[in-house]
């Protein structure tokens, strides 16, 4: 069987925001597949980052898909603005919404691919009823809000159950992991079924960023 292609998604959270265009350029040149954009509102998580204007400014600097991870309360309020900014994947937290199906439909209608994310304390089975509706499931391996934390390895088991449910239901979503992933431990997530690897600090602290991407992708 041909080896599965693993997608690498550097997270801009660990970039130097004062030199963002240059940082995006290093992602463009690194062989990475997507750019992961962490949006934090100071309510859902105890930190703040940026909103749709930053996304549209980043959009001008890259052709890569923008994988926006909305760590926000009321994600429904940001669908139109993030779509207009050029977001490809709009991933919300299941913990932040009451009517996930309705939100997923709105994201798709706005022209984006819907993704759903769970924090470490949320079990994977809460997603059972919506897995056939989303294009991406993001498994957080750390408590969200900050880059540079250590992976909680037990969260990787969620990949196994979701990958088997995907097979059983014939669903097509990609499985992504986020938090504490490095070139050295990415293979643990890939072995459990991950398709997309998000890495922030591991990418931006590396001397050779392209080498980190290669390692993550198993090349």
Task: Determine which residue in the list 23, 67, 135, 178 makes contact with ligand DX5, applying CB under 6 A.
Answer: 178
- For ligand DX5, the binding residue among 44, 67, 69, 93 (CB under 6 A) is 69
Taking the complex as a whole, the smallest distance from the CB of residue 168 to Zn ion amounts, in Å, to: 27
Tell me the closest approach of the beta carbon of residue 37 to Zn ion, in angstroms: 8
**Beta carbons within 10 angstroms of residue 215's beta carbon:** 20
> Toward ligand DX5, which CB reaches closer, 34 or 165?
34
The size of the chain, in residues, is 219
Size of the site for Zn ion (CB under 5 A): 3
Q: What is the DSSP string of the chain?
A: -PPPPPEEEEBGGGS-GGGHHHHHHHHHHHT-S-EEEEEEBSSSSS-B---HHHHHHHHTT--SPEEEEEE-S-GGGGHHHHHHHT-SEEEEEGGG-S-HHHHHHHHHHTT-EEEEEE-TTS-GGGGTTTTTT-SEEEEESS-TT-SSPPP-GGGGHHHHHHHHHHHHHT---EEEEESS--TTTHHHHHHHT-SEEEESHHHHT-S-HHHHHHHHTT-
Q: Which partner from the list ligand DX5, Zn ion, none does 199 bind, CB cut-off 5 to 8 Å by kind?
A: ligand DX5
User: By CB neighbour count within 10 A (0-12 exposed, 13-18 middle, 19+ buried), where does 180 fall?
Assistant: buried
Q: Show contacts with ligand DX5 in window 87-126 (CB under 6 A).
A: none
Which residue in 7, 23, 32, 36 binds ligand DX5 (CB under 6 A)?
36
d(CA 197, CA 130): 22
Annotated catalytic residue 41: no
Segment lying near ligand DX5 (by CB under 6 A), choices 15-23, 94-102, 166-174, 198-206: 198-206
Q: Considering the rule CB under 6 A, would residue 198 count as an interface residue with ligand DX5?
A: yes
Q: Which of residues 28-67 bind Zn ion (CB under 5 A)?
A: 38
CA-to-CA distance for 66 and 129, rounded, in angstroms?
26
178 is catalytic: yes
**202: which 2 tokens?**
């591991």
Q: Which stretch binds ligand DX5 (CB under 6 A): 8-16, 89-97, 99-107, 207-215?
A: 8-16
Shortest gap between Cβ of 41 and Zn ion (angstroms)?
Answer: 13
Shortest distance in whole angstroms from residue 2 CB to ligand DX5: 28
**Does 183 participate in binding ligand DX5 (rule CB under 6 A)?**
no
Residues marked as catalytic: 38, 178
Q: Give the interface with ligand DX5 as residue ranges (CB under 6 A).
A: 11, 13-14, 36, 38, 69, 142, 144-145, 147-149, 178-181, 198-202
């Amino acid at each position: 069987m041909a080896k599965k292609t693993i997608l690498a998604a550097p997270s801009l959270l660990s970039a130097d925001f004062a030199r963002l265009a240059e940082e995006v350029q290093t992602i463009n040149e690194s062989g990475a597949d997507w750019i992961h954009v962490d949006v934090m509102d100071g309510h859902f998580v105890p930190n703040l980052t940026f909103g749709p204007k930053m996304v549209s400014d980043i959009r001008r600097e890259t052709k890569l898909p923008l994988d926006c991870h909305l760590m926000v309360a009321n994600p429904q309020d940001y669908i139109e603005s993030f779509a207009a900014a050029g977001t490809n994947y709009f991933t919300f937290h299941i913990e932040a919404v009451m009517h996930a199906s309705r939100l997923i439909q709105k994201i798709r209608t706005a022209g984006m691919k819907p993704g759903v994310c769970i924090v470490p304390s949320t079990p994977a089975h809460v997603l059972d009823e919506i897995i056939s509706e989303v294009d991406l499931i993001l498994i957080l391996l750390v408590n969200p809000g900050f880059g540079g934390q250590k992976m909680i390895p037990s969260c990787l088991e969620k990949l196994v159950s979701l990958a088997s449910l995907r097979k059983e239901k014939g669903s097509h979503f990609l499985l992504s992991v986020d938090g504490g992933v490095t070139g050295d431990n990415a293979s643990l997530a890939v072995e459990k079924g991950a398709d997309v690897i998000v890495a922030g600090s591991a990418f931006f602290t590396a001397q050779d960023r392209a080498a980190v991407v290669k390692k993550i992708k198993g090349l």
